[in-house]
Amino acid sequence: MFAYVSRRLIQSIFVMLTVSLLAFAMFRFVGDPMAVMVGQETSIEDQERLREQLGLNDPVIQQYGRFITNMLTGEFGFSYRTRQPIGEMLLERAPATIELGIVSLLISLIVGIPAGIYTALRNDGFLSQTILITTLIGISIPTFVIGIFLIYLFGVQLGWLPTFGRGEVTEIGWWKSSFFSLKGLEALILPAITLGIYQLTLTMRLVRSEMQDVLNTDFIKFAVARGINYRSIHYHHALRNSMVPVITIIGLQFGGVIAFSIVTESVFQWPGMGLLFLESIRYVDIPVMAVYLVIIALVFVVINLIVDMLYFAIDPRVRLQPEAG
């Protein structure tokens, strides 16, 4: 257990170091930080003094060390564009993205897992085939087009749901939540479906193929031969053994949700972190890009760690193989 966990931890730290090196290189070498901070009329001496003050003349290694210390202590610096502290900007935007991500992940799991099980068990049924063809088309339609179609159908033609922004938010301390008002929930529906559909098709297809694989194994055949009823075989033996990969899916999907939230937030003008990142690219706001990169990488690494730990808890095969992984 200890060896397994510590090896995973070391790997994670290596990933974070690589990403932070990349972020630091962006921050330090893409465009001169000085040129952005000072105006035309700042004298050379003043510039030199500021350069010294900011430590831009120190050896690069030392600057990198300071960059990491700053990141660890939450000193993210200031945005070139708005001059606000980046930490504050992110904290203000994070709840919108997190709530959107959680709801769409829930949609994808609550619909995707049962649909996957159903299509695996009734492979040739009419409904199964319909579901499968629908998901094939779903994979080919880009997220933003799905969003636009939903806006056109439910927002413009039917006029049922709001199509941009968060509607009404309830403030709980600094956390602004959509969950506690009808208007907020209404505004959440279309973006969450848009973000969830692609993940849903992935979940469904993976659960289906995983379940089919397990159903073909010898122990299922043996269970059939023993005369155990099918209900028990399907939901007890097969489903349980298909669940390990499903945990990986959930972990991987979190990444997908974060990445595609950039697109969805842009379509629905959802004021989250993705929209902030997009604006920072459009205005070449390098510090915001660098910090976003580090934070996203951290989220990925933490999720992967949790997934690995869950493996350990759920699948005895991982526990019994000390060399695995």
What residues make contact with other proteins under the rule CB under 8 A? 14-15, 18-19, 26, 30-31, 137, 139-145, 148-149, 151-152, 155-156, 255-256, 258-260, 262-263, 266-267, 277-278, 280-282, 284, 286, 289, 293, 296-297, 300, 304
Q: Which is nearer to other proteins, 67 or 300 (CB)?
A: 300
Q: Among residues 64 and 300, whose Cβ is nearest to other proteins?
A: 300
Phi, psi angles (nearest 5°) of residue 170: -100, 130
Residues 32/34/36/41 CA torsion (nearest 10 deg): -130
Instruction: Find the shortest distance in angstroms from Cβ 322 to other proteins.
Output: 21
Nearer to other proteins, 147 or 233 (CB): 147
- Tell the smallest beta-carbon distance from residue 139 to other proteins (Å): 8
State whether residue 170 is helix, strand or coil. strand
Q: How far is the CB of 172 from other proteins (least distance, A)?
A: 30
Compute the least distance from the CB of residue 23 to other proteins, in Å.
10
Q: What residues contact 143, with CB distance under 8 A and at least 6 apart?
A: 194, 195, 197, 198, 260, 263, 264, 267
Residue number, 26 or 318, with CB nearest to other proteins: 26
Judged by beta carbon, residue 239 or residue 249, the one nearer other proteins is 249
Q: Write out the two tokens for 255.
A: 């990444």
CA separation for the pair 109, 115 (Å, rounded): 10
Least Å from the CB of residue 17 to other proteins: 10
The answer to whether the beta carbons of residues 177 and 97 sit under 8 Å apart is: no
Tokens of 105: 């992940």
Crossing angle between the packed helical segments 143-150 and 239-268, to the nearest 10 degrees: 70
CB of 280 to other proteins, least distance (A): 7
